[in-house]
Amino acid sequence: MQRRGFLQGLTLAVFASSLLRTAQAAQAATTKEIEALQKNWRALLAANFKAPAPTEPLKLSNDEWRKRLNPAQFKILREEGTERPGTSPLNAEKRPGVFACAGCDLPLFTSEMKYESGTGWPSFFTSIPGTFANKKDFLLVLPRVEYHCVRCGGHHGHVFDYGPAPTRQRWCSNGVALKFIPKQA
């Protein structure tokens, strides 16, 4: 039994070390560059997309959410589920654009904020300011910071403190909870 625990701990340590190296290999940005990304996200939106404001609350009944979302989106956004790693097509999304909430269209991240974390979930080193509310999650015993869309309350994922410099954050998002809006030339 002790050998199994040792092997599990060793595996976890190798995995965590790999994540940290991958996160550090991401393009490092200065704090000023990150602030510019957070301010200039509107330029990446498609011309025909009108972004809602975070202050426009969207409150729907569960039946209304079920009509609006597909079953996978409902499970993630409304029931705080987690999609399997490596299943989101947004992992490979490299085009310029904006990642918005699949529940209410609120812009959350830009493509310039995204990086490859090696975890199998779309990951970002920062977010558009004012778009998320956080809460502590003790589901896995140790506390984690869970983040929800400030407009519709939809669950998106967790934010961890082992991302790339200078934020050192990894906003680990369920791809099902996002929709990608490509920039139009």
Mean pLDDT for the stretch of residues 156-163: 92
Lowest model confidence (mean pLDDT) among 45-59, 106-120, 132-146: 132-146
The residue among 89, 79, 99, 87 whose CA lies nearest residue 155 is 79
Q: What pLDDT shows up at residue 52?
A: 82
DSSP letter string over the chain? -HHHHHHHHHHHHHHHHHHHHHHHHSPP--HHHHHHHHHSGGGGS-TT--PPPTTS-----HHHHHHHS-HHHHHHHTT---PPTT--GGGG--SSEEEEETTT--EEEEGGGEE--SSSS-EES---TTSEEEEEE-TTSS-EEEEEETTT--EEEEEES-SSTTTT-EEEE-GGGEEEEEPP-
Is pLDDT above 80 for 26? no
What's the pLDDT tens digit per position in 53-105? 888 899 999 999 999 999 999 999 999 999 999 999 999 999 999 999 999 99
Q: What pLDDT shows up at residue 4?
A: 45
Band of pLDDT at residue 15, cut at 50, 70 and 90 = very low
Q: d(Cα 103, Cα 73) in Å, to the nearest integer?
A: 8
Q: What percent of the chain has pLDDT over 90?
A: 57
Is pLDDT above 50 for 22? no
Is pLDDT above 90 for 140? no
Is pLDDT above 90 for 135? no
Q: d(Cα 111, Cα 93) in Å, to the nearest integer?
A: 8
Is pLDDT above 60 for 17? no
Q: d(Cα 179, Cα 175) in Å, to the nearest integer?
A: 8
Average pLDDT of the chain to the nearest whole number: 82
Q: What pLDDT shows up at residue 147?
A: 95
Show which residues are catalytic.
172
Q: What pLDDT shows up at residue 99?
A: 97
Residue ranges and CATH numbers for the domains of the chain are 2-182 (2.170.150.20)
Lowest model confidence (mean pLDDT) among 56-60, 98-102, 162-166, 169-173: 162-166
Q: What pLDDT shows up at residue 33?
A: 78
Q: What pLDDT shows up at residue 2?
A: 53
